[in-house]
Structure 1
Amino acid sequence: MPTKTLRIPTPDGQADAFAAFPERGERHPGVLMYADAFGIRPVLRDMASELAGHGYYVLVPNFLYRNGPTPVIDLPERIGEEVRPALIAQLMPMIEAHTTERVLSDADAYLRFLATQPEVGAGPVAVTGYCIGGLLATHTAAAHPGQVAALAAFHAPVGAAGPDALAAITAQAHFGHAESDLTPHALDELNRALDAAKLDYTSEVYPGTVHGFTMSDTDAFDSAGLRRHWDRLLPLLDRTLRHG
């Protein structure tokens, strides 16, 4: 699977990024993939490459580029629960400084860059994200309703986007929640907000999962949850980017 390390011009500098795409020479639908808080690392490269193998150009930006290139902090090969709190403590000030204004400015730059890549075809794109990346994907879809046809967010605080952002989304959406992230009442509240925003969406709790279940380099990883994630993501992209 061909891959590239890229630099994306933004109003605040340059964001380093990883891209994966099919070997075939024709153009492919574009997918903007936002990493979780731990950023671009082997598991994200593997996931981007797996998605690219289904016929997509997948761009994964380092959304914390203002704090330095990938890796923004030193990461162990496995992010176990014994090290997770200390890593999150390092990352949280950077995440808190990543304001909605910055998110939207960067999203403009990422999508503009994606559209200019020679391997990317004309037409709508998809955005997907994990953990905080799912919130960034939600903001991106809200800010670019004419361009983003599909939105997928996994173990993500999507409700934090707010009702105005949700109401602006025209993409078909899937929200895959960790069982440990939402109480039944909180899920009901979120789904009512999605209904009020008139989204075309699915929203479901993945049984037996905890926050971060898609990431195979963490103790949260759940193989059944990851399979369900692909079972939801791939049909969504197929019907919106290929048959929409």
Structure 2
Amino acid sequence: MPTKTLQIPTADGQADAFAAFPDQGERHPGVLMYADGFGIRPVLREMARELAGHGYYVLVPNLFYRHGPAPVVELPEHIGEEVRPQVFAQLMPFIEEHTAERVLSDADAYLRFLTAQPEVSAGPVAVTDYCIGGLLATRTAAAHPGQVAALAAFHGPVGVDGPDNLAKLTAEAHFGHAEADLTPEALGELNQALDTAGVDYTSEIYPGTIHGFTMSDTDAFNSAALQRHWDRLLPLLDRTLANS
């Protein structure tokens, strides 16, 4: 499985990024993968390689490149509950400084770079994400309705920007929520907003999960939910990017 470490030109400098893609000498549909708040690390690289193995060029940018290359803070091999508060205390200033304007500016640069890669086929792309990346991916898909054909967000705050932003979505979407993040009532309100907006979507709570359930290097990891995530993500990409 070929991988690369790349530098993406942006309006504010160079964003380091990880890319994985099939070793077949062909062009493949592009997927922009937003990391969770902990950023690019071994588990994210492994997930990108897993997805690439299904026939996609996967680009994972360092969201907080303005503060240095990934990882922007030192991370333990396992991010357990005993170290999570300390790590998040270091990351929160970066998250708070990552304004909507920065998100959209970076998204333009990421998509421009992704679609220009020689291994990426012409046609629409997908955006997938985890945790805070869910908000970033939703904003990216809403801002690029003609380019993003699929949106998959897992344990992310996808409804934070309200129904007006959801109404801009033209991508087919899947939202996989942690049980500890969203009440059934809140899920109903989100789904009603998606219905009103006419979005083609699935949106569900993954049973028995807490925030971060896809990440195997955290205490939140749930192996059954991770498999459910793949079972939802791969058919979505196959439907929307098959002709790319």
TM range (shorter): over 0.9
> 1:97-116 residue pairs with structure 2 within 5 A?
97-116=97-116
Q: Measure, in 1, the Cα distance between the counterparts of 2:161 and 2:61.
A: 20
Q: Which residue of 1 aligns with 2:181?
A: 181
> 1:111-190 residue pairs with structure 2 within 5 A?
111-190=111-190
Q: Measure, in 2, the Cα distance between the counterparts of 1:106 and 1:164.
A: 21
> 1:67-106 residue pairs with structure 2 within 5 A?
67-106=67-106
Task: Say if 1:39 and 1:70, in contact at 8 Å, map to a contact too.
Answer: yes
Q: Which residue of 1 aligns with 2:225?
A: 225
Instruction: State the AA in 2 paired with 1:100.
Output: A
**What is the CA-CA distance between 1:43 and the residue it aligns to?**
0.1
Q: Measure, in 2, the Cα distance between the counterparts of 1:176 and 1:161.
A: 17
Q: Measure, in 1, the Cα distance between the counterparts of 2:199 and 2:86.
A: 37
Task: Say if 1:174 and 1:232, in contact at 8 Å, map to a contact too.
Answer: yes
Secondary structure of the 1:47 match is helix
Q: Which residue of 1 aligns with 2:18?
A: 18
Secondary structure of the 1:103 match is helix
Instruction: State the AA in 2 paired with 1:110.
Output: Y
Q: Measure, in 1, the Cα distance between the counterparts of 2:124 and 2:29.
A: 7
Secondary structure of the 1:159 match is coil
Secondary structure of the 1:127 match is strand
**What is the CA-CA distance between 1:86 and the residue it aligns to?**
1.1
Instruction: State the AA in 1 paired with 2:227.
Output: R
Instruction: State the AA in 2 paired with 1:138.
Output: T
Q: Measure, in 1, the Cα distance between the counterparts of 2:161 and 2:146.
A: 19
**What is the CA-CA distance between 1:170 and the residue it aligns to?**
0.2
Q: Which residue of 1 aligns with 2:60?
A: 60
Report the more deviating stretch, 182-191 or 108-117.
182-191
Secondary structure of the 2:136 match is helix
- Count residues with an aligned counterpart: 244
**What is the CA-CA distance between 1:161 and the residue it aligns to?**
2.6
**What is the CA-CA distance between 1:8 and the residue it aligns to?**
0.1
Q: Which residue of 2 aligns with 1:2?
A: 2
Q: Measure, in 1, the Cα distance between the counterparts of 2:207 and 2:243.
A: 30
Q: Which residue of 1 aligns with 2:239?
A: 239
Q: Which residue of 2 aligns with 1:39?
A: 39
Instruction: State the AA in 2 paired with 1:69.
Output: P
Instruction: State the AA in 2 paired with 1:217.
Output: D
Q: Measure, in 1, the Cα distance between the counterparts of 2:7 and 2:38.
A: 19
Give CA deviations for 1:132-177 in whole Å, capped at 9, x if unaligned: 0011000000000000000000000001132222111100000000
Gaps of 5+ in 1: none
Give CA deviations for 1:213-233 in whole Å, capped at 9, x if unaligned: 000000000000000000000
Q: Measure, in 2, the Cα distance between the counterparts of 1:182 and 1:147.
A: 29
1:200 and 2:216 are equivalent in the alignment: no
Q: Which residue of 2 aligns with 1:51?
A: 51
Task: Say if 1:8 and 1:109, in contact at 8 Å, map to a contact too.
Answer: yes
Q: Measure, in 2, the Cα distance between the counterparts of 1:195 and 1:99.
A: 27
Task: Say if 1:138 and 1:161, in contact at 8 Å, map to a contact too.
Answer: no
Gaps of 5+ in 2: none
Task: Say if 1:145 and 1:169, in contact at 8 Å, map to a contact too.
Answer: yes
**What is the CA-CA distance between 1:243 and the residue it aligns to?**
4.9
Instruction: State the AA in 2 paired with 1:63.
Output: L
Q: Measure, in 2, the Cα distance between the counterparts of 1:85 and 1:190.
A: 29
Q: Which runs of 4+ in 1 moved over 3 A?
A: none
Task: Say if 1:104 and 1:140, in contact at 8 Å, map to a contact too.
Answer: yes
